[in-house]
């Protein structure tokens, strides 16, 4: 007997590279804050090293970053530095598609690796709390993609069979991890345009993806 997947009920969307992108080059913006602009790349490397640790932690980012700011001569620039990471452009067509899917009865959830500062900004200032039925940020789950546990935790919270859940991400390793957990998967990058996203989602829904 041929196995046919069950109908998709929930669609998980990644954020960066799928629904949104940075409005500025972090390196360029950091360079404007530093006494020596040529240190921007070194600063960004140090910043990202600290931030990565907080993709799975929900508090303490500011305290951990302070020594980095001190070392680069901008001890009072915490708010400005973090504001750079929150300068985000959201793809309006993608959000419109989300709302259409929800009107059609699909549950749409965010599934994104984020630091607590960025997650909070996205949820409130970008109104993702309104756009999505539920948000699953790595910093609040305590584990990040592509760790299998990330997807298993979400499935547990959804209380749905994995084959009723679809996952969309711009990174192949994340999509493959979701598929390994039994979900349907789609790799998509916003550079392909909103019509490609719509077509990919419709294929998943029809079980043709």
pLDDT of res. 206: 85
- 40-56 average pLDDT score: 97
Name 167's bridge partners: 12, 185
- pLDDT of 207 > 90? The answer is no
pLDDT of res. 112: 98
* Band (38; pLDDT cuts 50, 70, 90): very high
Task: Tell me the per-residue pLDDT of 143-194, one tens digit each, with 9 for 90 and over.
Answer: 999 999 999 999 999 999 999 999 999 999 999 999 999 999 999 999 999 9
pLDDT of res. 155: 97
Please give the Cα distance from 130 to 137 (Å, whole number).
Answer: 15
DSSP state letter for 136: E
Please give the Cα distance from 164 to 42 (Å, whole number).
Answer: 44
CB 108 within 8 A of CB 98: yes
DSSP state letter for 38: G
* Band (80; pLDDT cuts 50, 70, 90): very high
Task: Tell me the per-residue pLDDT of 107-129, one tens digit each, with 9 for 90 and over.
Answer: 999 999 999 999 999 999 999 99
Name 89's bridge partners: 21
pLDDT of res. 209: 46
Looking at the chain, the number of H-run helices and the number of E-run strands are 11, 7
| Nearest partner of 43 among 13, 101, 85, judged by Cα | 85
Distance of CA 102 to the CA centre of its chain: 19
User: Hey, how many other C-beta atoms are within 10 angstroms of the C-beta on 67?
Assistant: 12
- pLDDT of 5 > 80? The answer is no
For 140-176, b/e burial (b = at least 16 CB within 10 A) is ebebbbbbeebbebbbeebebebbbbbbbbbbeebbe
Please give the Cα distance from 148 to 103 (Å, whole number).
Answer: 30
Q: Return the residue matching tokens 């909103």.
A: 194
Average pLDDT over the chain reads 95
Please give the Cα distance from 137 to 119 (Å, whole number).
Answer: 7
- Give the helix/strand (H/E) hosting 50: helix 40-53
pLDDT of res. 6: 64
Assess whether the previous peptide bond of 111 is cis (omega < 30° from 0). Answer: no
Task: Tell me the per-residue pLDDT of 60-73, one tens digit each, with 9 for 90 and over.
Answer: 999 999 999 999 99
Name 111's bridge partners: 136
- 45-49 average pLDDT score: 97
């Amino acid at each position: 007997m041929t196995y046919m997947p069950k109908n998709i009920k929930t669609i998980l969307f990644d954020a960066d590279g799928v629904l949104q992108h940075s409005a500025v080059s972090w390196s360029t913006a950091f360079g404007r804050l530093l006494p020596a602009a040529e240190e921007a790349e070194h600063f960004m490397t140090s910043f990202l090293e600290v931030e990565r640790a907080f993709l799975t932690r929900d508090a303490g980012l500011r305290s951990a970053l302070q020594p980095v700011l001190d070392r680069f001569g901008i001890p009072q620039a915490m708010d400005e530095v973090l504001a750079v990471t929150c300068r985000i452009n959201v793809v309006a067509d993608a959000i419109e598609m989300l709302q259409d899917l929800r009107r059609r009865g699909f549950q749409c959830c965010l599934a994104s690796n984020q630091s607590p500062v960025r997650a909070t900004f996205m949820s409130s200032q970008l109104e993702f709390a309104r756009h999505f039925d539920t948000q699953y940020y790595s910093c609040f789950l305590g584990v990040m993609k592509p760790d299998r546990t990330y997807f298993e935790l979400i499935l547990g919270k959804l209380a749905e069979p994995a084959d009723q859940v679809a996952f969309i991400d711009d990174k192949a390793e994340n999509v493959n991890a979701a598929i390994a957990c039994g979900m349907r998967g789609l790799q998509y990058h916003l550079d392909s345009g909103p019509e490609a996203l719509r077509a990919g989602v419709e294929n998943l829904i029809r079980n043709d993806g």
